[in-house]
Structure 1
């Protein structure tokens, strides 16, 4: 999996973690001073377009900086450095001070821009989805409450009819939360495990095989990361195999998943 982070100083880091005996970590270039120091709180996935005419590539995603939501894009020069004249954080709106989670899903569709789904979880337990048809804004919000116990989540599955998240609770349970792409949004929640998952402050997940997933659980208190192979989600029958500790330190405030340009990344199908 390719995992990024936002450091306390506002930098982007990038590492590739490969499961094995033991796991290995490849450090990729980092990009400094993209955000105000100490203010970024949340990040969606970031996608990378490696070929942009006149540039050495581009990265784009969404971040919560303080209490504001921003669309974040930066371009690289041919030398691989951030082009400071083309690094932009566009404010979408305020009122995000109580947001606890942020993610974006690109649909399982021949046109990945046809319907983009944005998600947030608030500290009061309200989970909200917006659609972004053609990239023209966050519209048609659909919300559901009852998720105040959730500590963190990761996108697990993307189909033409639903998105599913893998979520941990503060009490240590592990659940799947399926969100049909219909209106009104009616979550379908299934317990996967009842305990031992409360130590992770962040989850990063990527596809592994046809139906499985590779999951990284990050314990910021100890700076540790642990890998798991997760079979196709099926409630408490879901197979989860521990793959051991990753030989790296995880102490940054924000972690996210790197993907290829939408349309070039296989959709997640872990449930």
Structure 2
């Protein structure tokens, strides 16, 4: 069982009145090449979907693939990014989900028709309980270039009371700090990772947009910067690397079940350039949205 006993380390309160309100640069983000984001979802029936969204103007969406019977119907409450690693027939997939009060890692392989390969069906391994009060989870696996061994893997969980917890799961699960002050956060998307820190792009219930940089050092002391003052309420954020320093950002409107795509320049507080690319021509009506990612990635959005 994972023990949620890490001491609170500092306060990174998302108070609108405590941050700068200067106007961002009007310079547009460069769009020399289209970027892609692999958007996933968990359906009410327990299937997983996979669709590639491309940052053309207007954005385009590929054909949705659906893998049936990954979970029991209605069981999954939270999902992290899932990795998708091609193999000689289909792909190997894995990621974390919260089912009931427990955290699980789910892994399986697919066949040539994108269904679970019954020869290697995988399964779900329970990590531990105590996850009922959590509303967001994510994993960051940073691997130094030219190596086959992850340099570090951190797992994050945001509790309903606004405390953000971190675990180091490189060699088993070890508590790695926590910080209070994030009760206003509605959604978080990982946009940067290196040997020194992880950075999330987060929106609040009031519609503001922030970066949350979390150094790997202890005690855990996040650095919060406002990126945009309004317009991001009621949205689930999914992000992927775009170019050397940028991010392609999908904002799913939870009420309307629609998605809008943005090109985000290298994050720099209120000077961050955000270019609206348009609405994605597909519905995002399934209960849970998440991102598909590769085994190794080098997010560099901040």
TM-score range, shorter chain: over 0.9
Q: In 2, are the aligned partners of 1:42 and 1:254 still within 8 Å (CA)? A: yes
Map residues 187-198 of structure 1 onto 2, 5 A cutoff. 187-198=222-233
Q: Which has the higher strand share?
A: 1
Superposition map of 1:96-175 within 5 A: 96-109=131-144, 110-133=147-170, 136-175=171-210
Higher relative contact order (CA 8 A, sep 6+): 2
| 1:75 pairs with one of 109, 122, 127 | 109
Q: CA deviation at 1:100?
A: 1.0
Structure 2 gap segments, 5+ residues each: 1-36
Whether the 8 Å contact between 1:106 and 1:112 is mirrored in structure 2 is no
CA contact (8 A) 1:17 1:24 kept: yes
- Larger radius of gyration, structure 1 or 2? 2
1:176 to 207, 211, 215: 211
Change (3 A) 1:218 1:80: closer
Distance 1:68 1:49 in 2: 26
- Which structure 2 residues correspond to residues 31-110 of structure 1 after superposition, within 5 A? 31-51=67-87, 56-77=90-111, 80-84=114-118, 86-109=121-144, 110=147
RMSD (CA atoms): 1.5
Shift >6 Å, 4+ stretches:
none
Give TM-score scaled by structure 1 length: 0.93
The Cα of 1:111 is off from its aligned counterpart by 4.1
Give the distance between the partners of 2:43 and 2:112, measured in 1 at CA: 24
For 1:25 and 1:154, how far apart are their aligned partners in 2?
20
How far, CA to CA, are the matches of 2:229 and 2:143 in structure 1? 31
Matched, 1:240 2:277: no
- 112 and 237 in structure 1: CA distance in 2 versus 1, 3 angstrom threshold: farther
| 1:30 matched residue in structure 2 | 66
CA shift in 2, pair 1:235/1:79, >3 Å: closer
